[in-house]
Amino acid sequence: MGNMRLQLTWYNKDKALIPIENGKYGYAWVDPSDPRYCETHTLCLDEYVRERLPHLKKLLSPDGSIWVHLDNVENHRMRLLLDEVFGVGNFVTEVVWQKADSPRNDARFFSYDHDVILVYCKSAAFKVNGLPRTAADNARFSNPDQDPKGPWRDGDGTASDAKTHQGMVYAIQHPMTGELIYPGIGRHWIFDQQKMYDIMSGWTAYKLEIIDDDQKRADVCGVIDSPVLGKIPPLSLSGGVKTLILVLFEPGKIFNASTCGDNCAKWLLRIASSEDRTVNLRHIMDFGRTPFEIRVLNTDQIVHSMNEFTENAINYV
């Protein structure tokens, strides 16, 4: 064997990879107690891989990609090296694949049953080759009405989170029954009114019309539709809704508006825009940067901005 040396395959392995016969292809794993173990030195991933990755990159075509198979020990270090050589923007994905179908009873801490494959591309020319459609795929589609666009199937025309897409919650009248159809609770149509109108007009005559359905749309969106406060998402005010209701319907009483925090500020201003209200504050409530009119009873001063409000209220909260 002479002074022939081989690197360890990974720095954290207990055994070393040693050639079993000088000058021939063949290796064996040896324990640290084996004298030949001392003839090796630890593999440093940074050194070993860093000098090879640029060459591998040169071998790739413009639309090529590299797939690196690793376990959880080296995954994070290899990501840094691949980011350095291929560029962060050329990261495609991390594929996780299950390599074991049952847990290891001899695991020290956690039974690790999967490895990862890091995928990087060389340039924006990279594309994923889709699988050809099978007969089973096509069997889900049909064309009973002889649509010139070809086979089709029913799909969901709605999406979730109606609270943040309230403008896409509206009624569509059934052309046969006249029924007004809305998305399900908490959902909205996937198209805005104009695009949906264009689509529906391809089947029969439709028109856009404003109807009195504020309460229905509020129910679908999951918001409170108040004639004074407007549409309020419950999560926006949390426990403050009760305080606002009391302030609105009990004008002769004084309530602690600080219980609902700064979320109540704009609603308090809106209530008071049509009828005077007196509330108690235990903190400097943020009424925003828009000019307003508030009387601070402690000083009997009318303020119109947060600066004026803070100067008058700072000594009383």
Cβ neighbour number for residue 118 with a 10 Å cutoff: 20
pLDDT for 30 beyond 50: yes
Band (pLDDT 50/70/90 cuts) for residue 141 is very high
Contacting residues for 36 by C-beta, under 8 A, at least 6 apart: 1, 16, 18, 30
The 10s digit of each residue's pLDDT in 241-272 is: 778 878 888 888 888 888 877 878 888 998 88
Residue 202 lies in a domain: yes
Final residue before a domain boundary, out of 184, 201, 221 = 221
pLDDT for 202 beyond 80: yes
Q: For position 188, what pLDDT does the model report?
A: 93
Q: For position 1, what pLDDT does the model report?
A: 37
Residue 297 lies in a domain: yes
Band (pLDDT 50/70/90 cuts) for residue 166 is confident
Residue 257 lies in a domain: yes
* Domain match, 11 and 38 both: yes
Report which DSSP code applies to 284.
-
Contacting residues for 42 by C-beta, under 8 A, at least 6 apart: 7, 8, 11
Q: For position 9, what pLDDT does the model report?
A: 42
Residue 144 lies in a domain: no
Band (pLDDT 50/70/90 cuts) for residue 47 is low
| Prediction pTM value | 0.41
The whole-number average pLDDT for the span 33-55 is: 67
* Domain match, 231 and 308 both: yes
* Domain match, 198 and 177 both: yes
* Domain match, 255 and 271 both: yes
- Give the residue numbers spanning the domain of 77: 46-99+112-121
Q: For position 161, what pLDDT does the model report?
A: 87
Q: For position 232, what pLDDT does the model report?
A: 61
* Domain match, 116 and 62 both: yes
pLDDT for 4 beyond 50: no
Number of compact structural domains in the chain: 4
The 10s digit of each residue's pLDDT in 68-122 is: 998 887 888 888 889 989 999 999 999 998 888 777 777 778 877 888 999 999 9
**How many whole angstroms separate alpha carbon 28 and alpha carbon 34?**
12
Residue 104 lies in a domain: no
Residue 290 lies in a domain: yes
Residue 132 lies in a domain: no
Alpha helices (H) in the chain, listed in sequence order: 45-50, 53-59, 75-86, 135-138, 193-200, 214-221, 234-237, 240-249, 265-272, 306-313
Torsion 232-234-240-245 (CA) sign: positive
The whole-number average pLDDT for the span 21-26 is: 56
* Domain match, 236 and 261 both: yes
Residue 131 lies in a domain: no
Percent of the chain with pLDDT over 90: 31
The 10s digit of each residue's pLDDT in 48-71 is: 677 888 999 999 999 999 999 988
Nearest to 183 by CA among 199, 166, 200: 166
